[in-house]
Every structure is written in C-alpha cells, then in structure tokens.
Amino acid sequence: MRGAKGLGWGILGVLSLILLWEGYKLVGPAEGVVVGDDGSAGSGTILLPRTHERAMPHVWDMAARLFESTSGGDSPPLIVSVANAALLTLGIAALGLVIGVTVGMALGLVMQRWRLAEWGLLPWIIVSQTVPLIAFAPVINSIGNQIDRGGTPWPQWLSVAVIASYLAFFPVAVGALRGLESPDRIHLDLMKSYAAGYRTTLLKLRLPASVPHLLPALRLGAANAVLGVVVAEVSIGMRGGLGRMLIQLAGQASGDPAAPWGPIFGSVVLGLIAAGSIAVLGVGLKKYRRGEASA
C-alpha cells in the first residue's frame, strides 16, 4: 500500500523531470542565457543551458534512439547493445563488490579488534579516497598485465574489478568498523559476564549488531562498484562493457546526440539495480534491523 503510493510519487517525480526538460527546451533560448559575453569564443558565464538538439535532445528522441541500430549498418539496436554491455559491467561490478566487501570487512574487523590498527589505518583509508581513480587505474591494469605475463593468468576484467573494489571497500570498512563498535556497553558487559571469548562475542553480538550499519554501507559500496567499473572500463578501454560504449558513443555526440544517452541510462539502471539488490538483502536480514525503527 505505502509502497505503491511511493512508487506513484516516484513516477510522478520522473515525469515532472521530463516535463521540466521538455518545457525548458521549449521556452529556453537555443544558445542558453549567457552573461558577461565579450564576443570572443567561450567567454561569459552560462546561467541557463543551451537547448538545441545537440545539448538537450528531446526525451522521445532519446527513447526512439534506443530502438535504432547502435552504429548503423547491421549493428544491433542500441538497447540490445546497452543491455549486453550492462550485463558484463554488472558481472564485473559484482566481483568488484565482493572483493571490496572482503577487504572492507577484514579492515573493519582488524580496526575494531585493535585500537592501534584503527589509529594506524583509518586516516590512510580516508586519504585513499582522495586519490582519483583515473590516476591509478592504468597502474593496476599494468600490474595486472605484468602478472599475466609472469604466467598467472590475469584477464583485464580482473583489473577492472580490482579498480572498482577500490571505491567499494571504503564505505564497507567504515560501516563495518562503526557497526562492530555499535553494541551497547550493557551487551558487551553481558557477554563478558558469560565469559564469552572474542569469537563468540563477534558472532553472537558484534556481527548481528552491525547489520544496520553494514546495509547502507553495502548499498553505497554496490553503487560505487558500478561507478568504478564504468570509469575503469573507460580508463583501460576494456571491451564489451558500458564504459567503453560511453566514450565510443560520446564520439558521435555531434551528429547523433541522442546516442550517448543510451549507455548513460544503462549505467543509471545498473547502479539502481546494484543498490536495489542490497535492499533485497536487507529484507532477508530484517530481523537484525529491528532496532532501527526506534533509532
């Protein structure tokens, strides 16, 4: 009941956005609203965006474009190419998420267990997220190739997954640490009074208690994994995924402005699927979230 209502409002929201886009396109000047233009190229500040076809294609053109062939000739319809690419990207993102969650959980556990580890690692974990992906994606790719040459097979998608895991691990590590430290003093005292060891306390108390913190972290991690895969695909040019499709179709944005929107929609849908799958996981873990309502 509430879900249906929420869905209704959501659809209305998307419709309003479309209306806003088309409405502005209808009334807005093709060259946008510019102030401080001194006549030379690229001068001035655009306050309102350009509305011509190359800047803001009609929504229905974007939609229709999905059913036209991807790049002419006998190439498949755009929507099919996007779907295929999205599947590959999703698969790699899932792997990236698994790696990220493994590393993040391990870090969270270590940091929770030893305060010294938390002090020593946490600042660097935070710093790590200020390093742009584009800087080290080629490095990872190159190390991957090195390993591959060394005889251990290291396919390119593995590099992509590792790069994606770099974005995915962060929220998980932080969320795990916070979650594992979330049990009340009273619960910890209780476990101590039972003479329960670290392992028992972890399994019976800390892990279950961390679920409400882990779920949002996982959701962020999943979305990040998809974003990471797309960027990594762009960066190392891996074939078959959404990332490379994005740059490839961006190359024809002048003559075929609706085309790049295909993979953009694809990656948005993918991100939503990734985040949504965590929501499904959350339903499965419902009993561990009983405390949430009151909080």
Among positions 49-88, residues that touch other proteins (CB under 8 A) are: 49-50, 52-56, 69-75, 81, 84-85
Examine residue 192 and tell whether it contacts other proteins (CB under 8 A): yes
Q: In 10 A of CB 89, how many CB atoms? A: 31
Examine residue 210 and tell whether it contacts other proteins (CB under 8 A): no
Site for other proteins in 246-265 (CB under 8 A): 246-256, 259-260, 263-264
List 90, 95, 101, 223, residue binding other proteins (CB under 8 A): 223
Site for other proteins in 121-150 (CB under 8 A): 121-124, 126-127, 129-135, 137-139, 141-143, 145-146, 149
- Written as six digits, the tokens of 61 are 């053109």
Examine residue 38 and tell whether it contacts other proteins (CB under 8 A): no
Q: Total residues contacting other proteins (rule CB under 8 A)? A: 133
Residue 58 buriedness (CB in 10 A; 0-12 / 13-18 / 19+): middle
Q: In 10 A of CB 173, how many CB atoms? A: 28
Residue 74 buriedness (CB in 10 A; 0-12 / 13-18 / 19+): exposed
Quick one: which H or E segment has residue 66? none
CB of 251 to other proteins, least distance (A): 4
CB of 184 to other proteins, least distance (A): 7
The answer to whether residues 169 and 218 touch, using CB atoms and an 8 Å cutoff, is no
List 163, 168, 215, 274, residue binding other proteins (CB under 8 A): 274
